[in-house]
Amino acid sequence: MKIKIDGRRFSAKEGETILNVAKRNKIYIPTLCYHPDLKPQGRCRVCLVEVDGKLVTSCNTKVMDNMEIFTNTKRVKEARKLNIELIYNNHSGEKELEFSVVAKELGIKKSRFEKPKKEIKSPMERDNMKCLLCGRCVQVCGAIQSINNIEFTDRGISTRISTPYDISIKDSACTFCGQCALYCPGNAIRERAYNEKVVRSLMEEMNKIINKKKFIIAQTAPAVRASLGEMFGMKPGTLVTGKMVTALRKLGFDKVFDTDFGADLTIMEEANEFVGRMKEKKNLPLITSCCPAWIKFAEQTFPFLLKNISTCKSPHQMLGAIAKTYYAQKLKLKPKDLMIVSIMPCIAKKFEAQRPEMKISGCNDVDVVLTTREIGRIIKKEKINFTDLRDGEFDDPLGISSGGGAIFGVTGGVMEAALRVAYEILTGKRLKEIDFNQVRGFEGIREADIKIDNKIIKVGVVHGLGNIRKFIESDRWKKYHFIEMMACPGGCIGGGGQPRPTTNEIRKKRMEALYRQDKKMKIRMSNKNPAIKKLYLEFLGEPLGEMSKKLLHTKYKKRKVKYT
């Protein structure tokens, strides 16, 4: 098919949109509500072009043979500008958002029009003053995550995004996966505590606590090192482990530990749990428990699966519990003298850390959870020049980790790390081929038959809540021995707390970075981590032993929400 854009000829395929052809040929068309992972909706009307004397939205208009398109006429430019100005009116204005970048590209600093007064209602940690009504959050919550918790409400100038009947977010079907926040171009939906005031008070709080001689420990999730650099203009997929550690030290944390250590510990417990269930043939398939949004989803929608879910706490909770016992003893401190700050790619972890089960001797395992975006903002606020920092190293002993812990951040990673260890437990032999390529990839539902000795172990890997729902409701889950579930597309590297923008393209780059890290590591199996071995020898005894059960395992209950 031949088409003409701005007088130049291009070939196009049937069914392609004007925007697609333009993008491929590097012709600039500004967009706002358009997102490569989502269905185009033609809602913001910033991507207008002129066809046959009519203005059409290029994101959802398909090309036709001999179509003549103009992207740059006076009429187009004026219409785009007007639309951005009108949207600008409904936004309180903030730098470094996707929205403000588009506005700047079109040369708009402020709107000519008077701002309407809007009431701020926040059923879901949202600020309607920043909402552009682009509808990305609605689509990601519904079409991708299958939760359908938010929708457009009311009509005309009163239109806003809300839960049905404005039911408060904690009583709603929300799993706190945070994908809505990740896709928001205007920062209208965001994690709790994500604003400058809170960030500042947190820093003050920390300083105050330092004066009181609280020992403050930071721990960072595997996925954060593969994405934090993006907040400082570095390319997606850049590993910034060393710089991140140095930045955290500069912020005043006493120790910087690695959640990868917690991940190794999780694998020791979970691999043994799996082997145990295989031997007893009880409560199979075993389903992973590291993802708190998946856990909430299961508790409220699929309570019949709770007995199948691993009792292991998630890695950062395990690390918190060990830091407040084993490590505190070494320092001759009490659990309450320590403050654990988890830096996570995740919003649901904030919810998880508050769960009443996540406690040891009356103290929360983890005190504060910050997202990648939040810590990035704190680093910026403190005027730390991130890109020029020298590489630091995690502190001993809870900073030592294996490649198995590193790949926890990607879909299929927990499965692979567990299989590496389960193989050795089941066979008693050394694992030669460490990579389990069968469970890697980006497809929503993946499965593999893993041969260990003469047994075939059927494993499934599912990511994205929409895929998880499909997987469970179709009863497919019943035919496996071991299943990994992650609520966010791509796993934690695509988590709700990660830097914006995130697209599937960027997710894949972050994924490659973590596999690169795994490949480079001397120790690639969790059971070979010397710090883990020492921990069991000195303190825990054995996996699933009495001490482990007390500190590292949890339970789940059917959760009542107003609707699902």
Partner 1 sequence: MKKLDNLISEYKRGECKLITLFKEIVKSKGFLSFENLNYLSKNLDIPLAKLYTTASFYSFIPTAKKGKYIIRVCNNLSCNLNGSENIIEVLKKELKINLGETTGDGKFSLELTSCIGQCDSAPAMMINNKIYTKLDKTKIRRILRELK
Is 85 catalytic? The answer is: no
Distance, CA of 180 to CA of 189 (rounded, Å) = 7
- When asked if residue 474 is in the footprint of partner 1 (CB under 8 A), the reply is no
CA–CA–CA angle 336, 339, 345 (5° rounding): 140
Return the closest-CA partner of residue 461 out of 475, 474, 471: 471
Residue number with CB closer to partner 1 (38 or 150): 150
By CB under 8 A, name the one of 61, 149, 310, 364 that touches partner 1.
149
Q: Phi and psi at residue 287, in whole multiples of 5°? A: -115, 140
CB-nearer residue toward partner 1: 250 or 469: 469
**473 part of the interface to partner 1, by CB under 8 A:** no
Does 560 bind partner 1 (CB under 8 A)? Our answer is: no
The single residue among 165, 303, 456, 530 that binds partner 1, judged by CB under 8 A, is 165
Does the annotation count 349 as an active-site position? yes
Helix (H) or strand (E) holding 526: none
Which of 68, 357, 382, 473 is catalytic? The answer is 357
Residues β-bridged to residue 446: 461
Residue nearer to partner 1 on the CB measure, 125 or 273:
125
Interaction between residue 195 and partner 1 (CB under 8 A): no
**Does the protein bind partner 1 through residue 155 (CB under 8 A)?**
yes
Which is catalytic among the residues 134, 363, 492, 526?
A: 492
Residue 136's SS3 state is: helix
146 by Cβ neighbours in 10 Å (0-12 / 13-18 / 19+) ranks as middle
Q: Determine which residue in the list 46, 59, 124, 150 makes contact with partner 1, applying CB under 8 A.
A: 150
Q: What is the residue-wise DSSP string for 64-84?
A: -TT-EEESS-HHHHHHHHHHH
Q: Burial level of 432, CB count in 10 A (0-12/13-18/19+)?
A: exposed
Rounded Cα distance between 91 and 138, Å, is: 18
Identity of the residue, 138 or 370, whose beta carbon is nearer to partner 1 in the bound complex: 138
Task: Give the one residue of 6, 85, 151, 435 binding partner 1; rule: CB under 8 A.
Answer: 151
The catalytically annotated residue of 349, 484, 488, 548 is 349
Question: Which member of 163, 179, 314, 401 binds partner 1 (CB under 8 A)?
Answer: 163
Q: Are 508 and 484 in contact (CB under 8 A)?
A: no
Q: Which stretch binds partner 1 (CB under 8 A): 4-12, 162-170, 198-206, 479-487?
A: 162-170
Question: C-beta of 149: minimal distance to partner 1 in Å?
Answer: 6
For residue 198, give the 3-state DSSP assignment. Answer: helix
- The least distance separating partner 1 from the CB of residue 162, rounded to whole angstroms, comes to 9
Q: Which is nearer to partner 1, 520 or 563 (CB)?
A: 563
177 annotated active-site: no
How far apart are alpha carbons 88 and 431 in whole angstroms?
Answer: 58
The amino acid that residue 131 corresponds to is C
Residues from 119 through 148 that contact partner 1 (CB under 8 A): 142, 148
Window 539-558: residues binding partner 1 (CB under 8 A): none
- Total number of residues that touch partner 1 (CB under 8 A): 16
Write phi, then psi, for 243 (nearest 5 degrees): -65, -40
Binding letters toward partner 1, positions 172-191, x by CB under 8 A:
-x------------------
352 annotated active-site: yes
Stretch that binds partner 1, among 56-64, 149-157, 176-184, 351-359 (CB under 8 A): 149-157
119 is catalytic: no
Which of the stretches 152-160, 188-196, 229-237, 240-248 binds partner 1 when contact is defined by CB under 8 A? 152-160
Give least dist CB 498 to partner 1, A.
25
Residue in 50, 98, 273, 484 annotated catalytic: 273
- Residue 495 CA, distance from chain mean position: 1
| Residue 8 interacting with partner 1 (CB under 8 A) | no
Does the footprint of partner 1 cover residue 113 (CB under 8 A)? Answer: no
> Rounded distance, CA 459 to CA 482, Å?
5
Judge contact between 34 and 18, C-beta under 8 A. Answer: no
Q: In what helix (H) or strand (E) does residue 460 lie, and over which residues does it extend? A: strand 455-463
Q: Which lies closer to partner 1 via its Cβ, residue 296 or residue 481?
A: 296
Torsion of CA 33, 36, 37, 39, to 10 degrees: 60
Q: Cβ distance 22 to 86 under 8 Å?
A: no
Q: How many CA atoms lie within 13 A of 361 on its CB side?
A: 13
Catalytic-residue membership of 310: yes
**Closest CB 152 distance from partner 1, rounded Å:** 5
Alpha helices in 323-464 (DSSP H): 328-331, 348-354, 372-381, 403-406, 413-427
CB of 154 to partner 1, least distance (A): 5
- Please state, in angstroms and rounded to a whole number, the distance separating the CA atoms of residues 44 and 48: 9
Residue 143: CB minimum distance to partner 1, A: 11
Q: Which of 50, 191, 270, 484 is catalytic?
A: 270
Residue 118: partners with Cβ closer than 8 Å, 6 or more residues away? 90, 128, 129
DSSP letter (8 states) at residue 416: H
Cβ distance to partner 1 smaller for residue 302 or 408: 302
Among 42, 93, 164, 444, binds partner 1 (CB under 8 A): 164
Q: Which residues bind partner 1 (CB under 8 A)?
A: 142, 148-155, 163-165, 167, 173, 562-563
The residues assigned a catalytic role are: 270, 273, 290, 310, 349, 352, 357, 492
